[in-house]
Each structure stands twice: as structure tokens, then as C-alpha cells.
Chains A and B, each alone.
Chain A
Amino acid sequence: MDWRQRAGREPHIAGIRRSFRDLEAEQQQLLQTKQIDAERTAGDWVRLLAPLAAYDAEADKLRSRLGGWMLGIGIGGFILAIIAVAINPIAGAAIAVAVIIAELVLLPNYRFTKKLDVNRTPLEFITGVAPILREDCSDDGSLHLRLDMRGAIMNEKETGKSQPYSRGRYYRIIDTYYMDPWCAGGAAFVDGTQVQWIATDYVRSQRKTKRNPRGKVKTKTKNKKKTNLDVIVTFTDKLYDTAEGTSGPDRQLKKAKVKDGGPDSKTVVRTRRTIKSPSAQTALDPRHLVDMIAASYERVKPTRRKKLAG
């Protein structure tokens, strides 16, 4: 069955391994390494990444379901086994064995999906933005991308840890900070403009502990994410020059810097936008990158009349 047909269906335990096998060798490898640094056409990027996004969505759905089942079977089986032991020890033992078998059947599938889980944000971002950038690149124009789909919460990406502090009912709070540059890319447009961007997530993971009135210790972890999107657009001096002002609406940029070395040198526009997300899982809307490139084009003006095609 085609992955596209499966994408809309409810996930199936046996089907997830088949879905993985249906992916091409490069896609399977990418799910394992979770990183890629390559140059290819926008269409090729979408063809590579869109099936991965569909697979990961299916696997995530299945894993959360498996987790629920395993927890339910574990708790329900434990209670049932205790009751059954009181009535008939053999029945109790049979229930316990059945529960263990069920858990052993579900666990490998859970681990399989967990091992191949990727951060879907880069996949969704690129599949949204690549077809748009393709329009400004020539047919054989390529996109250079460096994607990291491992997620932000990992030791390698940790940038700092706060000293334990208390606030309100929480007597111990530790903040851990992570920096995750998950997508860097570059493209050359037909009009000679060069676009480079980097999207970096800054995650604050707050682990806080409190004691409830019954004396029970409870700990919870909250993640907050802020994404910085930095874009550098370099305009060729043959076609563009710096404009006196900005011609578009306020695009809510945190930083917008125009470097103009004179009439015969390139105009470089650097922009930054900060996007706050309620959770670490929220994907970045491709419109942010489109907005920032648009804002750069609003800071230049053409220097001559010319017809471009193709």
C-alpha cells in the first residue's frame, strides 16, 4: 500500500514496520541518523522529506496509543491478578503471565517507533517552504540544507543549567537551557539574489518539585521554546540598490540591518525574527521565512530595466 494512502488511516501495529520498509534506503537511513547536510533541488527535497513526515506522524500516533495500552494493561492486569490470586491462585498466575506476554508483544513496537522518532519541525518547515523557493530558483537551481531532526533536549545541545531555586510552592526548580540550530539553508535566485537562513531553537526546560499537603513529592517538567530565525539576503549590484525607506508593511522583525557599500557593491539585508512557542513541539510556520525574504526585497529597489525568464 502506498504511504500516502496510509498517512490518512489509523495506525496499525503490524503496519508501522511495513511503512518503514516501504521507505527508500536513504529515507530509512535518515530516520536513523536524523541529520542531513546536502544540496539538491527543491522538488527532490520535498520528495525525500514529505514521506518521512507522513511516516513520523503515523509512528507518533501509534506510539502514544501503544504507551496507553501498555499502561492500561499493566495497571489493569496487576489489579486483576491480585483479585484473582485471592480467589484462585492459578487464575491469578495465568492473568499475570498473560499480562507479561501482552507487554512483551507491545514493547518491541513501542521501542521501534521511539528509536526512529524524529523532530518533525524541520520536515514540515522545508516541505512548506521548498516549493515556494523553487519558484524563484531556476529549474535546476538547488537548495543547500543542513537539517537536524534530533530535537533540542539532549546533552550535546545543553548550554547551561541554573542553580536550584524556589518559587511559591515549588521548593526546588532547576532550569536547563538548550540551543538547537535545526535548519540552515541557502538558495540562489534567478535574479542573482543569494538567500541564507538559520533557524535556532532556544529551549528552557524547567524541572520543578513540590510537596503536596499529604507530603507526597511531585515533580514536573515544562519546556518553553523560542525560535530565532536569521535571514541574510544578498542582492546583486547589477539589478538592485538600497531603497531610501521600507516599502512594505511592518513585518515585525526583531532586527533589520541593511549594508550598502555604494552603488557598485552588493546590498546585504540581515533580518531576525523571534517566534515564541507555547511548547517545544510546536512547528515553525514557513510563512516566517517567506515574510523575512519579502521584508528584504522591500528594502531594495531595482537599478535598471531588465527582463528575466525561466
Chain B
Amino acid sequence: MTTLDMCACKRGFFTLRDCGNPATTSCQLCTRRVCDQHLAPRVDTRVCVECSAKQEEGQTPGAQPGQQAAAGAAGAAAAQPHSPAQQQAAARAALGQPDVADEDAVLSREYPYRYRRRYYSDWGYYPWWWGTYDPYYNDYGYRYFDDDDDDDGGGFGDS
């Protein structure tokens, strides 16, 4: 059993793995221990990048299509992007992608986590799991190695 105080966040996009860095603080939302790299840049609170991504999910248009539809046809028509560049900017914003001119936002540790969360839910991707089990990720719908021999001694087989 691991006794080291390690960061609980998972790294990766197509596969998820343990961060591997020693934890330095606790997230005030999920109470998990996290490292400096996985701390969202907030002034007054200590929140991990994954909780931050979860929080921001409902704030950008496109993140929750149901909410967008309910916003009303008139409002939607007024905000509708017309030019291809505007449509592209809207699509980028919907996936949580920052403006390309904003280097800080592009380089921010939060961006891939925000994008990851949106992409998994909007585009139906289930990452392969190569990390330590954590119930925090139960809503991710990840995939893992399924060993067929696991149920050898289940007791429900032929007697």
C-alpha cells in the first residue's frame, strides 16, 4: 500500500494515469490532495484543475445544449455567429478552447482539463484507465483492462 502523499489528479487525455507528483495542498471542493501543477489559478480559494473544469462546464455556451436551447429562439438568433471565423470562434469557445492570442490561457494547466471534460461528454469518448482507482472519476465513463479470469472463484459456477 502506498503511504506517500501523492497528487490525486489524473493526467492524460486519451488515457488517464496518476500524476506522480507529491501533493502539496488540498482542494477545497473535493478535499483530495493535489500538487501545485494541478491547482487552478484562483486568488481566494484552493481548487484543483478538475473541480475547476467541472465548475466551468455549465458556464460556457455549448457546454450544456439543453440550457442553450431553452435560452429562447430570439436570443439565440441574435447571438448566432455568421462568418466562418465567428462560427469557428464559437465552436472553440464551446469546447473551452481559449482565444489563440491569449498565451496565458492557452498555456494554463486548466485548459486541457476543461477541454477534456467537455470533449468526453460532448463527443462520447471514454479514455483508457492506467491509474489508481478513484471514485471521483466515476462519472467519466472510462474503460479499463478487464481480466476474464477475475471471476474464477466466484462460487456461482458449476459444482
Q: Which residues of A contact B (CB under 8 A)?
A: 4, 7-8, 43, 46-47, 50-51, 53-54, 57, 123-124, 127-128, 131-136, 189-191, 193, 247-249, 277-279, 281-283, 285-287, 290-291, 293-294, 297-298, 301-310
Contact = CB atoms under 8 A, between A and B. Distances in A.
Between A247, A249, A282, A302, the greatest number of chain B beta carbons within 10 A of the residue's beta carbon is seen for A302
9 contacts: A4-B101, A136-B12, A136-B15, A189-B14, A286-B97, A308-B130, A309-B17, A310-B11, A310-B17
Contacts, number: 132
Contact of B130 (A191, A281, A286, A287): A191
Given A8-B101, A308-B18, 15 more contacts: A4-B101, A46-B107, A50-B103, A54-B103, A124-B100, A131-B107, A132-B116, A133-B13, A135-B12, A282-B88, A287-B119, A294-B125, A302-B144, A302-B145, A307-B132
Contacts of A189: 14-15
| Pairs A-B, 6 closest by C-beta atoms | A309-B20, A310-B20, A308-B17, A309-B18, A54-B101, A50-B103
Contacts of B100: 50, 53-54, 123-124, 127-128
B38 to A, nearest CB: 11
B92 interface: yes
Nearest to B16: A308
A53 B101 contact: yes
Nearest to A190: B17
Interface string B104-131: 1011000110011001000111111011
B123 A131 contact: no
Contacts of B92: 128, 285
A47 B107 contact: yes
B63 to A, nearest CB: 15
A308 B97 contact: no
Contacts of B116: 132, 135
A168 B91 CA distance: 37
A131 B115 CA distance: 10
Contacts of A306: 130, 145
Contacts of B18: 307-310
A43 B107 contact: yes
Contacts of B15: 136, 189-191, 297, 308
Contact of B101 (A50, A279, A291, A303): A50
A4 B102 contact: yes
B48 to A, nearest CB: 15
A293 B88 CA distance: 21
A309 B131 contact: yes
A136 B14 contact: yes
B143 A294 contact: no
Given A57-B101, A189-B14, A278-B84, A307 B19 contact: no
